[in-house]
Amino acid sequence: MINKKLNAGALQLTLFIIVVIALLLAAFVLIINGHHLYNIKTQFVKNTVEHSNNGIHYALRNNFEATTLQSKDFNYIKTEITKAYWGGFEKVHSTSTIKSNTFKKIALIGAKQPDFRRTVLYVEDNNKPLVLVGNTIIKGLAYLPKRGVKAGNIAGKSYYSSQLIYGQIRESSELPELNKKNFEHLKQLKNIDREAPQEAFLAINKERNHKNSFFKPTQFIVSNATINLSEISLVGNIIVKSKTKIIINSSAKLRDIVLVAPEIVVGNNVKGTFQAVASRQIKLNNNVTLNYPSALYVINEKPLEDKVDKNAAISIASNSKVSGSVVSITSNKTSNFKPQIVIDKNATVVGEVFCNQNLELLGEVKGTVFTANFLANQSGSIYQNHLYNAKINVNDLNPNYSGLLFKDSKKKVAKWLY
């Protein structure tokens, strides 16, 4: 029998190998455990985002001001949803919480377009036929008075197309009813800043660049005098309010804000995305481009005096384009010979026009027109319920468009806010 002694170096090497293997095993266990925890946390984050999205979609289908959704499967998943208004749109805020994970989303909500047979024109039944003259084109489903539609003649010019309406015709009655809560919100915007804290008011004479997230409280620019927006940038959750007049210059950069004043004038070559709410008049000069989702609202609850208010409530000049809603609502009837909305030749609205009195359309609407009556001011005479060289085509409007809120409208996200 042979006895062989191991030297001390071999023993140390063995112990070293054992320690290394133990460390590797421990590291492997830690990696596996860490990976497992990471997967759990990642799934929590995914679930939080998913439930926040579900909260927005729940708000599209249900009417409420605020609610909390609790997961049926997991009582630790909670989604809080609140609704408010931003101009003529709904604003939905969805916050989902899973343990320590929170995710927030805010969406601007409008009315969804029908999947098929979209309305191109709705003329209130005022016991007068709709008369088409010149190169007028109407494409889509049209709701017209009982007396229907016919070709006419103005100053020797007749109707030149081979067909009156390029689409189905149905009988109209009264104009569709707008969403009452949203309508009341628009009327009360003149008082929106009354309870705002002092820190919510911005001083634009000191700083000319302001951006405010919709996750934060609304900020205000308020004046009793005329506000002239020039060489300024205003983005996000900001309301500009004047008790007299707001003038917008082409050097102003405005995005997603709301303007409130009795009178609002948009100067030549202005480009932006905003909503304007006035009690008397909104005037768009030449070459204005308002991107989607923009909106113009004039809501007048007082009688208009023809001698004083010679101008239309909303006028859109030549080569200007509005992507969104154009709305004029006057509570009291005025003369049958004065337009409340004038869309000039070569002017375009991509979206919807709503006028509860008289509309003079010389340009183009890529979308839908709702009106009580048309006017055509031609050759020194005014023609009631006449359309002259006008174009209305709902097929040119993107089916994903989300806009004017009516009573019982199906809703859709117009824009994700920030």
| Structural domain boundaries in the chain | 8-112, 119-398
pLDDT at 38: 57
CA–CA gap between residue 15 and residue 21 (Å, rounded)? 10
Backbone angles phi, psi at 188, to 5 degrees: -95, 0
Strand partners, 73: none
Along the 418 residues of the chain, how does pLDDT read in single tens digits?
555 555 666 777 777 788 888 888 877 788 776 666 655 556 666 778 888 999 999 999 999 999 999 877 666 789 999 999 999 999 999 999 987 789 999 999 999 999 889 999 999 999 999 999 999 999 999 999 999 999 999 999 999 999 999 999 999 999 999 999 999 999 999 999 998 999 999 988 888 999 999 999 999 999 999 999 999 999 999 999 999 999 999 999 999 999 999 999 999 999 999 999 999 999 999 999 999 999 999 999 775 554 445 678 999 999 999 999 999 999 876 666 899 999 999 999 999 999 999 999 999 999 999 999 999 999 889 999 999 999 999 999 999 999 999 998 999 999 999 9
CA–CA gap between residue 275 and residue 324 (Å, rounded)? 9
Strand partners, 283: 265, 315
Chain centroid to CA 136: 29
Residue for token digits 């000049």? 317
Nearest to 130 by CA among 156, 158, 150, 157: 150
Q: Are 214 and 106 in contact (CB under 8 A)?
A: yes
pTM above 0.85, yes or no: yes
pLDDT at 45: 66
Which residues touch 141 (CB under 8 Å, ≥6 apart)?
Answer: 117, 118, 119, 120, 167, 168, 169, 170, 394
pLDDT at 206: 80
pLDDT at 50: 87
| 223, amino acid identity | S
Coil, strand or helix: which one is 27?
Answer: helix
